[in-house]
Amino acid sequence: MLSRASKYAILSTLFLAEHSSETHKISVKVIAESIDVPNPFLAKLFQQLVRGKIISSTKGPNGGFYLTKKNGKRTVLDIIENIDGLSRLNECFLGLSECDGLNPCPVHFIVEPFKNGILGKFRDLSIMEFSKEIIAQGRKLTLKDISTDFEKK
């Protein structure tokens, strides 16, 4: 449904929301390691997110990526739109050319409320609001296998 690229972009942007600021920029390297995403691939994604004004960057020493207040008001849906385009979110679960009530596939009426739920959340909450929710719930958004953390302990 979402490409890996989108997922990386979402998690990384939420990471910036939580850990960066205009006075504390973060390099791709740090982010890539924190959430366990391939470094140069993430760099590419970030370039595109910067062009889409979803995140911000500055070059040079103490440079890196960060969110401005304005950036924080963008939505997760903006990220998806920027990376994957919106069409992928609206695909029929079984591949029919149209996903709507006109010629619904056998699972359409299970899929539709889910889609609306996800879409609503991605569209109506800003990145910053989204992030606050995550912090409040004490979640760790990393692709690292958390079980390895337990072992290390």
Give residues in contact with a second copy (CB under 8 A).
1-2, 4, 7-8, 10-11, 14, 93-98, 103-107, 110-111, 113-114, 117-118, 121, 130, 133-134, 139-147
Selected from 99, 122, 128, 131, the binder of ligand FES by CB under 6 A is: 99
Of 109-148, which residues contact ligand FES (CB under 6 A)? 111
Pick one of ligand FES, a second copy, DNA, none as the site partner of residue 90 (Cβ within 5 to 8 A by kind).
none
CA geometry: angle 116, 48, 90, nearest 5 deg? 20
99 binds, among DNA, ligand FES, a second copy, none (CB under 5 to 8 A by kind): ligand FES
What is the SS3 assignment for 2?
A: coil
Q: Please report, as residue ranges, which positions from 54 to 93 form the binding site for ligand FES (by CB under 6 A).
A: 92-93
For the four alpha carbons of 91, 97, 100 and 105, in that order, the dihedral sign comes to negative
| Best CA proximity match to 56, nearest among 71, 41, 36, 42 | 71
**Calpha distance 93→136 (Å, rounded):** 33
Counting Cα atoms < 13 Å in the Cβ hemisphere of 9 gives 25
Q: Cβ distance 22 to 96 under 8 Å?
A: no
Pick the binder of DNA from 28, 67, 77, 79 (CB under 7 A). Answer: 28
Which residues would be at the binding site for ligand FES (CB under 6 A)?
A: 92-94, 96, 99, 104-105, 107-108, 111
